[in-house]
Chain A
């Protein structure tokens, strides 16, 4: 297959090595970090309004976390060897160290926090459920069914502490992904110390809007009322983080334009040609300016509940598209130009191959399947969640 090349490319630049799957990697990891940070809002900063989404956000983070390394595995020729980074860690490799950041976040933060938060429910379910489900819950209780008030209070305090550690960990997780790109000094499109920070804020943006959408859709599916105070608050936080995110990206842009180093003309040309659609139209106009304007409007004008819901869904969807486009433009855009700054290549996405579109779609569906299973196993809805000490009996609302 001949790849259309314009101008001068070095031979090893013609074919893109990092495919659409590597676009998914920061996208999915970002959702994990963002969803978790939303959950910690409730826990650490005591934003009561977002409580209905607390558990859903944690489960969302877990579902996406489990899928996050898969695009990387599929990219490797020998995926099974990736486990060797735990056995013989190479400290000078940023990518190898990501394995530890990932493991820390999954094991020490997410799983632990979910377990502590759900322990009461798990114990109750292990006594009320039947069959194989009972067995699962029994294993999850670790053989201790102590849900005394004091035990739950200890859980609560420990959970708070873990969330405290979790916030910097979530920043680390996604900041690290930004670092992996930002530290590639050979690539002027990536190499920037702002990269980790931009990644963190865009992660928060995507995670918050994903949880907002999931909350709205799942509530709809369950035929319950959407808690408007909750979505209003989430939308407000989404707007704030989005403004910070956008400012950072513009800061990066202005910096580049004013600095105008030797790569500038080439990158500028690329943005005006190959990336025009995905960067300027989709990422900036549709995916950033439009949702910020929509969300901003709800702050200044009074809309009915129904109109606000519509605006939030629209803004949320645009946000997801915009953040995906941002990942795309970083990963794919960074490989379209030549290091000689004299030529441009093209990314041709394959379809039914290991790194093709079909795989990417499957990988994007998988977290939702996992989330569905998790939600069945550990219902996050408030009516089935009995708060510590409240003693409410668990209902089987979600089954």
Chain B
């Protein structure tokens, strides 16, 4: 009876073994917390939350660098947070003595926001940096914290 479908039974066994192997593999490699909240690893939330904070926040910087804050208040960059330009500096804020922030390359930092692009709102100040700066660093002319260049003299 079964003699003539023996090869099919063997095939079915092979398929069954493959399926079982897949189920075992899946159980072994899919993290346990997967799907706890959604289509991701539930434990990932805890892991991310436990990572050290990299940004100190505007208020923290202002406590020490009052001079910069005063400058910033006078220009339109008042709306731009310190770490938007200086990068994450929580380590520096915790221990300013030993962790010194690196120098910024204005050609990169300023262009990130001000490079001319027709998709940006018309009112936003933007320049074609290559033409505008002519290779000079932006802060040769602009005071980064108070970028408007007043006619009677800068700084």
Contacts and interface: CB of A to CB of B under 8 A. Distances in A.
A10 B119 CA distance: 6
Given A151-B4, A154-B4, A142 B10 contact: yes
Given A88-B34, A146-B6, 16 more contacts: A11-B117, A11-B119, A86-B22, A87-B25, A88-B35, A115-B11, A142-B7, A143-B10, A144-B6, A146-B7, A148-B4, A151-B7, A154-B4, A154-B5, A154-B8, A158-B8
Interface residues of B, number: 20
A88 B31 CA distance: 10
A9 B7 CA distance: 61
A144 B39 contact: no
Interface residues of A, number: 20
Interface of A: 8-11, 86-88, 90, 115, 119, 141-144, 146, 148, 150-151, 154, 158
A8 B122 CA distance: 14
A115 B3 CA distance: 19
Contacts of A11: 117, 119
B39 A150 contact: no
Contacts, number: 41
Contacts of B118: 8
B7 A87 contact: no
Interface in B17-62: 22, 25-26, 29-30, 34-35, 39
Of listed A8, A115, A151, residue having the most chain B CB within 10 A: A151
B10 A87 contact: no
B14 interface: yes
A144 B119 CA distance: 68
Contact of A142 (B14, B39, B119): B14
B6 A87 contact: no
A90 B40 CA distance: 10
Interface in B72-94: none
Q: Return the 10 tightest CB-CB contacts between A and B, nearest first.
A: A144-B7, A151-B4, A142-B10, A150-B4, A144-B6, A10-B119, A87-B26, A11-B119, A87-B30, A144-B10
